[in-house]
């Protein structure tokens, strides 16, 4: 999820251990190679995905739905503890007699089955080899292994979404670019549309995911609706988004260090420090050790939110910081604070769109929704966590954004805790922001590298499995290259506002507002075009269709005509917004280079003045 600089400081990792309540975070690397290849087999039809998804949802409802043993009257936490106790007892009872799942060196799933003591007495195998021998995993056994990985509840999803998105430190600046009325209206509209897109992803997930064909990422929905080309498009853009997020966090962290040093440290050095940190800590391939630390991000952000609100009420804005990006501003005779109910006078379309893209950035978190649902025990409950998180986040953004704008007016800065005038409170905000930002940078860098490695590297460049010896060495080499490249990009364009607009329009807007309706149209057209006489044979995987081509697509589109027309309008509107956002981002870059010397590339002077 991304919501400006503050929200990037949240978690948000498919490999974050908290995605699994049990503490285990199985990712795509833990799947046997034969299953990974099957997940991306273009010969599998949508009828087959729908067939097995219905079976999986029915089984989840039987196991965890209303009236099941897991819906205990003494609460979900107690039920979960009972389940863990029973599981541990069962493990102890069957540790000798039951088969064990393992992954061979070749990446194949294997079951290690016990052998009776005393057999093979003449065999010269080791004790370990005598106790267990391997055999291929059957589909039924893999279904059980796949289902065991799904342990998260809707309350855990609510916690994850809230933790990742909570950090509205750019909302005050957004209101200063749009005005109070348009700001409230646009944040409300984009918040509602963001929730609708999350609903679309949830509905598609329920009908396409199954224990037989589990979905682990956003690209899996893209693949099952439109094919390999769209999967690569989503995965490539997702990796690019994480890369830009890392570049943005390097920039904001460097700016925090510069403010902490009162500008005495060269800004290039400040950003190099952050880059070196990422090159070293980023070598950790698993994020389990970061999970508990990242969970504190929400509490740190809440503290900074309330602290800055209190400081803004009793001190003027940071005029020095405003003057650093506005050379014509007279710091000795500042204009009074102005709050506009409509679009602020003196600002053009580019400024308004810049504010709008901050709204996009605020609610653009759908990139990770599929990863969250893939870890849920009962994905049908995802809507509860999504709805509660969206309401809480919307209220938080409204209160903080409106408050910041009313207190600081046209001087509201992005990031807000750097825009307060007392240096002591700047320091507090920068320290907390630096901690959460660097944690987030490592998380996003780790995910971005893995997305690139597992999808682009393995599919196109034929990289070995990440767990292999060669794969680990390739990962070690990629990490510093990734971070140095992000540093070069952020050092070349040290403009926070421009980066937020660029990331929001180029990446986040697509995953939250453009791709969901586009995929929903394609999914419903294929699903609704099916006729009662068309059959699917689970034994052979063969489908008997009556027709094909345009006639079939037209029949599917007419089935839910009004919703499909709305989604088409929604999709086209998102495309227009994307074009406006990219135009505003590049226009702002050019303008900043011309009018703000401190914002030019490769300078020791800090953008904070």
Least confident residue range of 123-132, 157-166, 596-605: 123-132
Residue 178 predicted with pLDDT over 80? yes
Residue 125 predicted with pLDDT over 60? no
Residue 564 predicted with pLDDT over 90? yes
Asked whether 360 and 2 are in contact (CB, 8 A), the reply is no
What pLDDT does 35 receive? 54
What is the DSSP annotation of 342-367?
Answer: SSPTT--HHHHHHHHHHHHHHHB-GG
Q: Coil, helix or strand for 319?
A: helix
Q: How far apart are CA 468 and CA 196, in angstroms?
A: 41
What pLDDT does 251 receive? 85
Per-chain mean pLDDT for the chain: 76
Tens-digit pLDDT profile for residues 333-342: 888 888 888 8
DSSP run (H or E) holding 421: none
Strand partners, 114: 132
Q: How far apart are CA 437 and CA 440, in angstroms?
A: 5
Please state, as a whole number, how many other Cβ atoms lie within 10 Å of the Cβ of residue 476. Answer: 12
Residue 263 predicted with pLDDT over 80? no
Asked whether 214 and 487 are in contact (CB, 8 A), the reply is no
Q: How far apart are CA 474 and CA 296, in angstroms?
A: 32
Q: Which of the pair, 217 or 296, is modelled with greater confidence?
A: 217
High-pLDDT (> 90) share of the chain, %: 18
Task: Of 18, 26, 50, 90, give the one whose Cα is nearest residue 528.
Answer: 50
Phi-psi region at 141: left, alpha or beta (left = phi > 0; alpha = psi -120 to 50): alpha
Average pLDDT over residues 176-189: 90
Highest mean pLDDT among 316-325, 366-375, 548-557: 548-557
Q: Which of the pair, 206 or 146, is modelled with greater confidence?
A: 206
Residue 345 predicted with pLDDT over 90? no
Strand partners, 544: 535
Q: Could you tell me the pLDDT band of residue 8, with boundaries at 50, 70 and 90? A: very low
Q: Which of the pair, 27 or 565, is modelled with greater confidence?
A: 565
Residue 147 predicted with pLDDT over 60? no
Strand partners, 560: none
What pLDDT does 3 receive? 40
High-pLDDT (> 70) share of the chain, %: 73
Q: Could you tell me the pLDDT band of residue 29, with boundaries at 50, 70 and 90? A: very low
Q: How far apart are CA 579 and CA 584, in angstroms?
A: 9
Q: How far apart are CA 219 and CA 206, in angstroms?
A: 15
Average pLDDT over residues 138-152: 57
The hierarchical CATH code for the domain 149-595 is 1.20.1740
């Amino acid at each position: 999820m991304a919501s400006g600089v503050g929200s990037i400081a949240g978690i948000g990792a498919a490999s974050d251990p908290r995605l699994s309540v049990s503490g285990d975070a199985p990712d795509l690397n833990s799947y046997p190679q034969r299953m990974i290849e099957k997940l991306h087999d273009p010969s599998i039809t949508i009828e087959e995905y729908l067939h097995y998804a219905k079976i999986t949802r029915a089984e989840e409802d039987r196991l965890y739905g209303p009236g099941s043993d897991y819906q205990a009257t003494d609460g979900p936490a107690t039920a979960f503890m009972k389940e863990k106790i029973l599981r541990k007892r069962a493990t102890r009872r069957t540790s000798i007699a039951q088969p064990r799942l393992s992954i061979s060196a070749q990446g194949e799933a294997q079951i290690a089955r016990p052998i009776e003591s005393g057999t093979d007495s003449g065999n010269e195998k080791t004790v370990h080899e005598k106790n267990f021998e391997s055999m291929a995993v059957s589909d039924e056994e893999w279904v059980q292994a796949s289902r065991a990985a799904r342990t998260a509840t809707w309350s855990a999803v609510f916690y994850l979404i809230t933790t990742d998105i909570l950090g509205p430190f750019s909302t005050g600046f957004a209101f200063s670019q749009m005005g109070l009325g348009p700001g409230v209206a646009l944040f409300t509209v984009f918040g509602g549309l963001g929730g609708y897109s999350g609903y679309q992803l949830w509905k598609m997930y329920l009908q396409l995911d199954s224990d037989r064909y589990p979905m682990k990422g956003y690209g899996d929905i893209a693949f099952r609706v439109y094919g390999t080309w769209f999967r690569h498009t989503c995965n490539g853009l997702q990796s690019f988004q994480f890369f830009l997020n890392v570049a943005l966090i390097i920039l904001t962290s460097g700016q925090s260090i510069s403010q902490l040093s009162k500008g005495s440290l060269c800004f290039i050095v400040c950003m190099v420090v952050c880059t070196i940190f990422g090159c070293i800590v980023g070598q950790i391939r698993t994020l389990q050790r970061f999970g508990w630390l990242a969970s504190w991000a929400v509490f740190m952000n809440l503290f900074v939110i309330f602290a800055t609100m209190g400081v803004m009420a009793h001190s003027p804005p940071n005029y020095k910081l405003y003057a650093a990006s506005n050379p014509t501003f007279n710091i000795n005779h500042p204009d009074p604070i102005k709050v506009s109910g409509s679009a602020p006078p003196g600002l053009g379309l580019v400024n308004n769109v810049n504010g709008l893209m901050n709204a996009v950035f605020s609610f653009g978190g759908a990139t990770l929704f599929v990863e969250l649902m893939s870890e849920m025990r009962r994905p049908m409950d995802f809507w509860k966590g999504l709805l509660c998180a969206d309401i809480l986040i919307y209220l938080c953004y409204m209160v903080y954004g409106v408050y910041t704008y009313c207190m600081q007016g046209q001087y509201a800065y992005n990031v807000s805790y750097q825009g307060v005038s007392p240096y002591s409170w700047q320091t507090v905000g920068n320290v907390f922001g630096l901690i959460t930002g660097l944690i987030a940078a490592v998380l996003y860098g780790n995910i971005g590298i893995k997305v690139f490695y597992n999808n682009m590297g393995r599919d196109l460049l034929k990289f070995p499995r990440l767990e292999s010896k060669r794969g680990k060495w390739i990962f070690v080499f990629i990490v510093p290259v990734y971070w140095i490249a992000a540093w070069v990009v952020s050092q070349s364009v040290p403009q926070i506002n421009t980066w937020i607009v660029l990331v929001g329009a180029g990446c986040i807007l697509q995953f939250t507002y453009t791709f969901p309706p586009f995929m929903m149209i394609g999914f419903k057209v294929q699903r609704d075009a099916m006729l009662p006489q068309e059959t699917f044979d689970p034994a052979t995987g063969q489908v008997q269709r009556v027709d094909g081509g345009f006639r079939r697509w037209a029949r599917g589109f007419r089935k839910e005509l009004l919703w499909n027309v709305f989604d088409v309008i929604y999709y086209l509107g998102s495309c227009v917004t994307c074009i406006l956002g990219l135009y505003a981002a590049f226009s702002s870059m050019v303008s900043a280079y011309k009018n703000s010397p401190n914002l030019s590339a490769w300078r020791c002077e800090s953008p904070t003045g």
